[in-house]
Amino acid sequence: MTILPAPVYVERGASAQLVNCDLRIDNGTGVPWRLAELELSVHDRTGALAWRKLVNDNGVSPGILTVPNRDLPATGAVLLLNPLHELPLALEPGKLHFQLTFQRQDGEERTTATADTAPIVYQNKVALRLPLAGRVLVWDGHDYLSHHRRWDYLFEPIRNFGFDSNAARYSYDLVPVDAGGAMHKGDPRADAGYFGLGQPVLAPGPGTVIAAVGDQPDNHDFDTAALKTELLVMYGNRVLIDHGGSEISVLAHLQQNSVTVKVGDKVTAGQRIGAIGASGSALFPHLHYQLQDGPTGHAQGLPSYFHDFRRVLGARTVPVPVGAIDSGDLVERAAPPRR
């Protein structure tokens, strides 16, 4: 068992801290096995046990059934997404110890695999701000059920395109909404009805533009053959901003001919760099945003914390000086406080 990626990052959210790591299981025994139990033990920085939780095959509808890819072929590898990804905020994780128990598919014999990792509580080097103005719904973030998180780069069709990581591990699909929370009016299949279409996309922080593509049509499509040479083609029109410190913002699915920057440009936080569109692999007009540690689709995703925004909690809003966002959140970019 190998814990991926390395290092493993801890993202501190509003109500929990998240450990969005994957477990790669390689089977060279020549015998097929099935996952029966997954246990996570968290030790503090002194080595003392601080928390332990498991999912197993006990009961009428056991929790282990919620974990996909439970069956190991006689040879080869599978990727398990860590289902015990939420840790209490009070924990100070120094070591994560995973223990997986497998049962032979043709008998009762059981065996275990273990692996340890020392996670890092990630803190951004650049001060980021939301890349859209107005009220925004995080239509899909990177929680355990989101499609960004559930990216199996060992799945053969995906692997064959050249993917070997999850650069979108901590990404968001951001959608402007009206006061009632609606994303569009009229037919949801018509792009023109989306309130966000054409709205300005803003640089989330200062940096240098290292990629700018703006000529792709807003047709929800891309050339899959081009993935062989450029994995980021799936994002259609896009701008990549290097903030320094191995932190690179990717802003994607931009509207055709809306990109206002070019490679080499220096940008400031809040500067317009394009507009919301539906280019590339976009279900509907929205902004895809992710922070990653390199300039290509082979990079690893990084947690991103945003400064100076408000959480919309029904009829009230709560100011957040700096914090994480995720699927389902309604947020608004606020004016930065006077220093």
* pLDDT single digits (tens) 278-329: 999 999 999 999 999 999 999 999 999 999 999 999 999 999 999 999 999 9
Rounded to an integer, the average pLDDT of 216-239 is: 96
Q: Is pLDDT above 60 for 248?
A: yes
Domain residues of the chain, as ranges?
2-121, 135-333
Question: What per-residue confidence (pLDDT) applies to 14?
Answer: 87
The alpha carbon of 203 is separated from its chain's Cα centroid by a whole number of angstroms, namely 19
As a 3-state breakdown, the chain gives helix, strand, coil percent values, each rounded to 5, of: 5, 40, 55
Question: What per-residue confidence (pLDDT) applies to 338?
Answer: 61
Q: Are 2-121 and 135-333 in the same CATH fold?
A: no
Q: Of 102, 52, 12, which Cα lies nearest the Cα of 303? A: 12
Q: Is pLDDT above 90 for 181?
A: yes
Helix (H, G, I), strand (E, B) or coil at 160: helix
Q: Is pLDDT above 70 for 172?
A: yes
Instruction: Give the pLDDT confidence of 41-77 residue by residue, as tens digits.
Output: 999 999 999 999 999 999 999 999 999 999 999 999 9
Question: What per-residue confidence (pLDDT) applies to 270?
Answer: 97
Could you give the C-alpha distances from 191 to 236, 255, 283, in angstroms and in order?
16, 11, 10
Give domain 135-333's CATH architecture: Distorted Sandwich (2.70)
DSSP code per residue over 217-254: -SSS---GGGGGT-GGGGG-EEEEEE-STT-EEEEEEE
Q: Is pLDDT above 80 for 339?
A: no
Burial 67-95 (b: 16+ CB within 10 A, else e): bebbebeeeeebbbbbbbbbbeeeeebeb
Rounded to an integer, the average pLDDT of 99-111 is: 95
Rounded to an integer, the average pLDDT of 90-111 is: 96
Mean residue pLDDT of the chain comes to 96
Give domain 2-121's CATH architecture: Sandwich (2.60)
Question: What per-residue confidence (pLDDT) applies to 335?
Answer: 78
Phi first, then psi, for residue 79 (nearest 5°) are -115, 120
Q: Is pLDDT above 70 for 105?
A: yes
Higher pLDDT, 339 or 64: 64
pTM of the shown model: 0.96
Residues 6+ apart with CB under 8 A from 314: none
